[in-house]
Structure 1
Amino acid sequence: MGKWYRLLLVAVGAATMLAMVSPVSADDFAGRSAYRQGNYELARTEFGKDATSVSLFFLALMELRGEGGRPDLSRGMELLRESAEQNYFAAQYLLGTRYLYGAGMPADRVRAKKLLAAAAAQRDYRAIALLEILGRGSRGEKQDMKGVVEAVRKAASRGNAAARNTFGFMYLIGDGVPKDAGQEIRWYRAAAAGGDSRASFMLSLMYFHGDGVPRNLGEAARLMRIAAERGGARSEFFLGTFYYHGTGIPQDKAQAAFWIGKAAGKGYGEAQYAYGMMLLAGDGVPVDKTGAVDWLVKAAKQGNTGAQAVLRELVALRTAPVGVPALDLSVPRGGNGAYDTAIGGPYLQGKGVVLDQGDYSLKFSLPDLTDAYAPPPAPGAPLDLKSRLQGGKFEIIFPTGK
């Protein structure tokens, strides 16, 4: 067929929306909400969509307890180790206690203390309290765990923000206290009032969704800013999306780029993808194609499929900036590759729908490009191009060369 040179009639600004993840799709929130309501079947489904450290922890917890199914100790421990290896404090604490008391594995006090210290460094007050108890001499698992609950309760009542957030989390998962959504929210609010970033982040999403509290976008934005100003990469990223969409605060693309860029610099994959797309489009920042490719490569290497797809598209279009070395992402074609299988007549290619006109082709790029990959609503159903192309941009593709 020869080379394809594409005349780009529209800048990639519309594509930026692909990178802007809304808090609606926060990685673990839907699963946590279902878990809070006791809908373990739905929680398993939601947590199973993304292998984040948080999702892995809750899946481990449900496997170990048999919530929503039969207990599976082997699978639960496998998931718990994965979550702990990804540095999730709750998994480090739980795995540490299991090593400490030999629950489901040989006891290993040295490894237990390392895990508890890692959780304590992330302000899990249960780990802080347990390490203090061990320093005074352990009295055994049952008495130690009672001591942990009492220590967290006392510290929370005295105004310790980290203890308050930990106490709220304990009410969510039923750790030494009964599961109680009202108490969970009460202690999150108290922790957020004391400046705790983790509690502020969680409450922000709860206000955004109206989950357990009345929906209030202004309060969601206020709390997310508190969390972001205390340096959490995920909260920085979500504050950026609030600014990008004007969620509870005036829309400000420059502020969006600032916060998303900060999160990207801390290694947060979704932020790296989003920031790369903003640099590529000049959306809130000056156009910087070389910098864009750098950030997209970083996100792609973390397994971000959106970044991988955009990089393939850039390579296919031969629009990689001059001076950028050849990309070696080691990602196989197919699935989310550069070209999808033809489905008859119009077909999906990369991030758009292509209509072959003989001497040239038209490629329509969608406002939300992820829709291009959505399967038909039912097997064998026709592709509804009219609805998918609403508001779309397009390119003219000329075949030339040998």
Structure 2
Amino acid sequence: MRRQAALLLALAAASAPAWAEGPAPAAAPDLAFGAYQRGYYQTAFAEAMKRLDKNSRDAAAMTLVAELQAQGLGVKQNMTEALRWYRLAAAQGDKNSQFALALAKLAGKDGPRDVSGARALLEKAAAQNHAGAWLQLGILALEGNGVAADFAKAAEHFRRAADLADPEAAYSLGLLYREGRGVERDPQQAAAWLKRAAEGGFLAAQVEYGILLFNGDGVPADEAGGARWLIRAANRDNPVAQNRLARLLFFGRGVKQDRVEAAKWNILAAAAGLRDPRLDGESNKLTPDERRKVEAALKIYLGK
């Protein structure tokens, strides 16, 4: 059940820096965060340091300095210094630094992997409505870490994160409802959470929800609607979506039959390791002219 995608710092509202959870702390004017948002990282670092010169307890500025150093944005990457700033900001109660430091502890970037230390930080950040912290607590509940996985607790944590608009959490909760783990199996609830995650832009959810729609699993069957979600995901280079879309295009299900487009998506899925002998057989039936069109379509898609 565990998500395979790497956990990154939470995406913020449009007014906040990309690594922050929620709106940036009040400052007038907030030159440091403004520079960060526009990609002027050296300026962001300089302005954040000016703020710290004026107020050594400015946790938001500490977190910004830490993030810039951790990512090597505008300054030389320095994880040791980044962790120092994260610790200082976390001690001030900054939820973004608490979350970032927890991830560092889980990844073994702050000494040996420290699950208990990470959990304590995540709980502090979650208490401040940090969606990413609730999500990670749910994942820890699934991991077990020496004890049985607690699916009910994971579902509770995922719900808290999903209610804070975290699409990965909505996806994870949808999977629990689909499998009946930690919650009563409920195809309708599974579909509803997967839809929310798909609409939130979570790629895996777009694939899953597209398949649910196509098959009518927990929702009224809608082959055309399912195909539209698969098209979105295929264009984001998801090989499962590319494979499923190739099937629909070859046989005209939910979309108009298009053997050239079908073969294109089948080749892309196969290149990613998802081979489909049935679709390969259909591709082998293409005429020489269709094959040339497939090559041209691939060049356009790949930007060649």
TM-score by length of 2: 0.62
Tell me the residue number matched to 1:27. 4
Could you tell me how far apart the structure 1 residues matched to 2:233 and 2:205 are?
Answer: 8
- Determine helix, strand or coil for the equivalent of 2:40: helix
Aligned residues: 232
Q: Which stretches in structure 2 are left out of the alignment for 5+ residues?
A: 10-16, 21-38, 48-57, 67-75, 281-304
Does the 8 A contact of 2:239 with 2:269 survive in 1?
Answer: no
Q: 1:282-301 maps to which residues of 2 (within 5 A)?
A: 282-301=216-235
- Determine helix, strand or coil for the equivalent of 1:331: helix
Q: Which amino acid aligns with 2:162?
A: A
Q: Which amino acid aligns with 2:195?
A: G
Could you tell me how far apart the structure 1 residues matched to 2:140 and 2:41 are?
Answer: 35
Does the 8 A contact of 1:206 with 1:212 survive in 2?
Answer: no
Whether 1:258 aligns to 2:192 is: yes
Could you tell me how far apart the structure 2 residues matched to 1:144 and 1:307 are?
Answer: 42
Tell me the residue number matched to 1:310. 244
Q: CA deviation at 1:194?
A: 3.7
Does the 8 A contact of 1:272 with 1:299 survive in 2?
Answer: yes
Whether 1:152 aligns to 2:120 is: no
Select which of 143, 147, 151 maps to 1:217. Answer: 151
Judging changes above 3 Å, is the alpha-carbon distance between structure 1 residues 142 and 331 closer, same or farther for their aligned structure 2 residues?
closer
Tell me the residue number matched to 1:349. 278
Does the 8 A contact of 2:207 with 2:241 survive in 1?
Answer: yes
- Determine helix, strand or coil for the equivalent of 2:265: coil
Could you tell me how far apart the structure 2 residues matched to 1:251 and 1:169 are?
Answer: 31
Tell me the residue number matched to 1:333. 267
Judging changes above 3 Å, is the alpha-carbon distance between structure 1 residues 244 and 155 closer, same or farther for their aligned structure 2 residues?
same
Tell me the residue number matched to 1:129. 62
- Determine helix, strand or coil for the equivalent of 1:224: helix
Q: Larger relative contact order (C-alpha < 8 A, sep ≥ 6)? A: 1
Q: Which amino acid aligns with 2:166?
A: G
Does the 8 A contact of 1:221 with 1:249 survive in 2?
Answer: yes
Could you tell me how far apart the structure 2 residues matched to 1:240 and 1:224 are?
Answer: 9
Whether 1:233 aligns to 2:167 is: yes
Q: Which amino acid aligns with 1:188?
A: L
Q: CA deviation at 1:173?
A: 4.4
Could you tell me how far apart the structure 2 residues matched to 1:319 and 1:181 are?
Answer: 48
Could you tell me how far apart the structure 2 residues matched to 1:279 and 1:115 are?
Answer: 47
Q: Which amino acid aligns with 2:4?
A: D
Does the 8 A contact of 1:181 with 1:212 survive in 2?
Answer: no
Could you tell me how far apart the structure 2 residues matched to 1:311 and 1:242 are?
Answer: 26
Q: CA deviation at 1:248?
A: 0.2
Identity score, percent: 23
Does the 8 A contact of 1:234 with 1:268 survive in 2?
Answer: yes
Could you tell me how far apart the structure 2 residues matched to 1:242 and 1:321 are?
Answer: 31
Q: Which amino acid aligns with 2:62?
A: A
Q: Which stretches in structure 1 are left out of the alignment for 5+ residues?
A: 1-22, 29-51, 58-86, 91-108, 118-124, 134-139, 342-347, 352-402
Q: CA deviation at 1:241?
A: 0.9
Does the 8 A contact of 1:113 with 1:131 survive in 2?
Answer: no
Query: Which stretch shifts more, 224-233 or 146-155?
Result: 146-155
Deviation track 1:188-244 (CA, whole Å, cap 9, x = no partner) reads: 233334432111111211211213665211101111111111111111111111111
Could you tell me how far apart the structure 1 residues matched to 2:46 and 2:103 are?
Answer: 17
Could you tell me how far apart the structure 2 residues matched to 1:170 and 1:340 are?
Answer: 37
Q: CA deviation at 1:301?
A: 0.5
Whether 1:110 aligns to 2:40 is: yes
- Determine helix, strand or coil for the equivalent of 2:92: helix
Structure with higher strand content: 1
Q: Which amino acid aligns with 1:349?
A: R
Structure with higher helix content: 2
Judging changes above 3 Å, is the alpha-carbon distance between structure 1 residues 254 and 147 closer, same or farther for their aligned structure 2 residues?
same
Tell me the residue number matched to 1:279. 213
Does the 8 A contact of 1:334 with 1:340 survive in 2?
Answer: no
Q: Which amino acid aligns with 1:206?
A: L
TM-score by length of 1: 0.48
Q: CA deviation at 1:350?
A: 4.4
Q: CA deviation at 1:114?
A: 5.5
